[in-house]
Amino acid sequence: MSVQRVLPQLGADPHAPFPPTSRALEAPNGLLAWGGGLEPERLLAAYRHGIFPWYSEGQPILWWSPAPRCVIRPERVHVSKRTRRRFNSGCFTLSLNTAFEAVIAGCAEPRADEEGTWITAAMVDAYTALHRLGHAHSLEVWADGELAGGIYGLAIGGVFFGESMFSRRSDASKVALIALCRLIAAQGYGLLDCQVENAHLKRMGAEALSRAAFEAELARLLDAATDPGLWRAAPMKTERW
């Protein structure tokens, strides 16, 4: 498929509107547009419309709005008995926004079952810039003084848009996801966007929303008042689950 022939191309203006998400392709699911850049204002506008970039090195930037959309209601995240026992053993400690660049680097490491990574150098730079502007955040999981796992994404209003997570110790990424859900649920966040469904996320309580339902949730939550002090860089309390 030639994305240049099939899809609308975004131009150089980071303030230009995206195509309506109703124009996203069914195959591949959600592919909406190509081109443009990863400027903070363009990325923030994209997420507010349920759109995100996802592409590999050597490709143009590809913009997506898949349907159905995978989400977790933060207050409904599932904690398995195994993960609960491991966390309550005291082997992990948590922190917030203390090692964002290390977390995104960990997420960019090649996985055993994948070739390469979609977290390109340009993506790292773009989300690090969003972190410095106070929009992108990380939750870190530590074991024996080393970074064992983590998750990062964007917080806009009452929605956290999860981008990626990684694990170097058993259950560390699950702990990161659960801890993030518990944190944002306590602050009234209504959704954790997980983008695309998989079996792992379903076991943790994820559900699938139609595009119309997802965008209705965005309209309801994106302008919700939340406490910006939530994302202050600091160690987190590790109360038993």
Question: CATH: 3.40.462.10, 3.40.50.800, 3.40.1380.20, 3.30.70.3550. Which one for 3-66?
Answer: 3.30.70.3550
Asked if the 70-236 domain carries CATH number 3.30.1540.10, the reply is no
Q: Cα angle vertex 181, ends 30, 135, to 5°?
A: 65
DSSP 165: E
Specify the 3-state DSSP secondary structure of 61.
Answer: coil
Contact predicate 139/235, CB 8 Å: no
Query: Which among 184, 177, 179 is positioned nearest to 158, based on CA atoms?
Result: 184
Which part of the chain is CATH 3.30.70.3550? 3-66
The whole model's pTM is what?
Answer: 0.95
Per-residue pLDDT of the chain (241 residues; tens, 9 = 90+): 455 557 999 999 999 999 999 999 999 999 999 999 999 999 999 999 999 999 999 999 999 999 999 999 999 999 999 999 999 999 999 999 999 999 999 999 987 665 557 899 999 999 999 999 999 999 999 999 999 999 999 999 999 999 999 999 999 999 999 999 999 999 999 999 999 999 999 999 999 999 999 999 999 999 999 998 999 999 998 889 9
